[in-house]
Chain A
Amino acid sequence: MWNKIRDFFRVESLTTRVRLAFMSIIVLLLFSGAMSLLELERVSADTEEILMASKSNADLTNEMLTALEMQNDAVELMSIYGDDISTHRVNCELGIANLHQASEAARAIMQRTETPMAADSLVICAGNVNSHTKRYLKGEVESEVRLISEIDTLYSTQQWYIEVYKPAVSDMSHQIKKYMTGSHNTLGPDVNDLSHTARRAVTPVFITLVVMIAIVMMFYFFFMLYIVKPIKRIDRSLGAYLTYKMPFDDGIRSHDEIRRVRDKIAALISKIR
């Protein structure tokens, strides 16, 4: 059984050997190339993912700041300058909705990072600002301050804006700033993965290249040993026969084409004799 398998795979033709050797090198080259492409695609996908995440972080920051600014401007105009036009109310409602949506989205991203607790502070601050704005829109603030201070409404809402609303907005901006500057932290695990993937991309290609160098060196060695050297031997032996009439003996023991050439030369010499 084993002998049959072995005979099946036995290579005795020089042409087949060289063909197989070249095919091996080509296959390994293709293999290496395919792996490079595959790995580079993986690195590219990961890099794109990180860039997208970074962009989405920037977009979210922008959305939160815009929503906060929208609310703040509207509330400021209403509470400090006494404007009470419907545009400000619409802006406030839009700001509340946008801030809520953006802060929740930011929380979802931060939950996947190494500091999920930071997400809670952001959402609490956003909720705080929103609730103040909502209370102002409902007129709860005005009735509250009137009861407490018993002074002019405009003056008391100005005081409320400065003492209550403004600090809440400051807290929220601080949290957004933290989120913005900490966005590198939120990307940390992804970046680590990327460096791991990049290394994984290079290593197999590097190993394949080293193996290919070894195979090419072996091919050179075998080519010299099984093709060049026997031809040189035949040449030397034939030269010795033609010049000095020395017996034609090159000591070749292979069973390939070179052996057949050698046998034919030997037969020719014996015929000439």
Chain B
Amino acid sequence: MRIDVVLRYIGMVLQFIAAFMLAAAGVSMHNGFDSGFYPLLLSALITAFLGLFPMIFVDRTTEVKTKEGYAIVVGSWLVACVVGTFPYLIWGGEFSLMNAWFESVSGFTTTGASILNDIESLPQGLLFWRSATAWIGGIGVVMFALVILPSMGHSRHMLSSQELSSIAKDNFHYRSKVIIRILIFVYLSLTICTTLLLKYEGMSWHDAVNHAMSTCSTCGFSTKNSSIAYFDSVNIEMILIGSMVLSAIHFGVLYATITGRRNNLFRSEIVRVYLGMMAVISIIIAISLVSDNVYDSFGEALRHSTFQVASITTTSGFATVDTNTWTPIAIILLIFCMVVCGCAGSTSGGLKVDRLVISAKIIRNRIKVQQHPNAILRVKVNGVVQDSSTQNLVTTFVIAYILLALIGTFTYTLFGCDLETAFTATIACMSNVGPGFGEVGSMGNYSDLPAMLKLVSTALMLIGRLEIFGFLQLFFMKSWK
């Protein structure tokens, strides 16, 4: 593996991140040089410096091997998370070294979990940087850099292949270069539309931009301590539900819908399952909340249940109410949403609806084969037959997910967490949802966890974001020939 080439590409990603830090410093400057200006400017300079250094020695290379591509992607994520801590650390406040690392990883992995007890005390520039980390991470740090880097030839394909989920690529029927452009186009359009709609509904430009970035990346970072509950507006909640749901649908499908192609939103089996699942769960939760007298009217219960289901299924993690006070049925269903999450090829994390559908069909076929041993049954999604390697990949992923969830829960309980907190925090971090239940509920945060658990949480976030095997491969690099 050519480490120099890997360092050059990671350096490019760092320069890209430095540009965002500079933009955040611009926000601080616009806000009358608030206390975030100096940390952001300093961080931008240091990050740009670090990114530029490898370019002095390493020449441009268009050919990147698979192993190198993988190292670039994983390395970029890790280094992005490290440099992402700089503005927080320099600013100080609640950010100790571990807290800054947690907030940075939570942002880049679009988890949206926070250690901040007083978000509103942060200067505007730093809040913008916080949302920007989520926005960059939403589509992938490398993917963004690929758009601005011209003539990368084969390496573009190699890098995008490493960062995109394997099942996500199936729904794109384009070349890598086009896939990246589609992703960025849809992502940008969604963000701009959400910003304008939120502004129209009375948010300030600062809040609108931050919430739009956070919504479209399905991160869930808010500029307010009480998250979306602060605004107490049905219209804002509806806009956010729409944006969150769209952001959790395969971007290729969204693009196909906009451009009037065949594989559009209305023909997608996955999208049907995804939307249907959300609708059914929202209604069941609403009925359960009304029957348990948590809310007086069905309308109010449905409003909150729909928002929370959308927020959790899309892995955003915004909150309008404290879900810890909800009924056990509601909590169980929300945990199910935390596991399944959105569609592949979107900004959401978790197991993904695609894998759920394939797994369900594999189980159905297994039952049928037991009844009819000679039957030849195939697994089809959207009318496309899924080959055995895809099925194996899905099954392995599900098993790995369950195993890691158990290991994570065990680790949390080792440090004295109750079972509810331990299990939901593990799932919330692995699926990049953010809030769980118990101590880490929708109106709580991760600040009270011991430093070791914060570290474990960030590892889970990275594992989840890099689709488990992407991260685990890091420990088996030597055996990769």
Contact = CB atoms under 8 A, between A and B. Distances in A.
A and B associate: yes
In this complex, the member of B53, B56, B59 whose beta carbon has the largest number of chain A beta carbons within 10 angstroms is B56
Contacts of B39: 204
Given A24-B49, A214-B50, A222-B4, A207 B56 contact: no
A215 B53 contact: yes
A13 to B, nearest CB: 11
Given A2-B150, A24-B49, A215-B53, A203 B92 contact: yes
Contact of B90 (A207, A254, A255): A207
Contacts of B57: 11, 17, 21, 222, 225-226
Interface string B126-150: 0000000000000000000000001
Contacts of B417: none
A225 B46 contact: no
A23 to B, nearest CB: 10
Contact of A196 (B46, B86, B92): B92
A24 B89 contact: no
Interface string A184-209: 00000000000010011001100110
A105 interface: no
Given A21-B56, A28-B49, A211-B50, A204 B42 contact: yes
Contacts of A21: 53, 56-57
Interface residues on A, range: 20 to 34
A20 B92 contact: no
Interface in A118-175: none
Contact of B92 (A10, A28, A200, A219): A200
B385 interface: no
B60 interface: yes
A218 interface: yes
Contacts of B7: 218
A211 B92 contact: no
Contact of B50 (A10, A200, A215): A215
A20 B46 contact: no
A203 B46 contact: no
Contacts, number: 62
B46 A17 contact: no
Contacts of B43: 207
Contacts of B45: 31
A254 B59 CA distance: 9
Contacts of A208: 46
Contacts of B3: 221
Nearest to A9: B55
B54 interface: yes
A197 to B, nearest CB: 9
Nearest to B45: A31
A219 B92 CA distance: 31
Given A11-B56, A222-B4, A222-B57, A200 B49 contact: no
B56 A211 contact: no
A189 to B, nearest CB: 15
Contacts of A207: 43, 46, 86, 89-90
A208 B43 CA distance: 9
Given A6-B60, A218-B54, A225 B42 contact: no
Nearest to B88: A203
Contacts of B4: 221-222, 225-226
Contacts of B53: 21, 24, 215, 218-219
A132 B43 CA distance: 63
Contacts of A226: 4, 57
A225 B8 CA distance: 14
Interface string B34-62: 00000100110110011011111111100
A214 B79 CA distance: 12
A200 B90 contact: yes
Contacts of A254: 59
Nearest to A25: B53
Contacts of B90: 200, 203-204, 207
A10 B52 CA distance: 12
A21 to B, nearest CB: 6
Contact of A211 (B46, B89, B150): B46
A24 B46 CA distance: 11
A12 B302 CA distance: 65
A194 to B, nearest CB: 12
B60 A211 contact: no
Interface string A1-45: 010001001110000010011001001100100010000000000
Contacts of B58: 222
Interface string B417-436: 00000000000000000000
Nearest to B7: A218
Contacts of A211: 46, 49-50
In this complex, the member of B4, B42, B57 whose beta carbon has the largest number of chain A beta carbons within 10 angstroms is B57
B49 A203 contact: no
Contacts of A218: 7, 53-54
Contacts of A196: 92-93
Interface string B102-143: 000000000000000000000000000000000000000000
Contacts of A2: 150
Contacts of B49: 24, 27-28, 211, 215
Given A207-B86, A211-B50, A225-B4, A17 B56 contact: yes
Nearest to B148: A2
A255 B54 CA distance: 17
Given A196-B92, A207-B89, A20 B56 contact: yes
A42 to B, nearest CB: 11
B59 to A, nearest CB: 8
A222 B49 CA distance: 16
Nearest first, the 3 A-B pairs at minimum CB distance are A222-B57, A20-B56, A203-B89
15 contacts: A11-B57, A21-B53, A21-B57, A27-B49, A200-B90, A204-B39, A204-B90, A208-B46, A211-B46, A214-B50, A215-B50, A215-B53, A218-B7, A221-B3, A222-B58
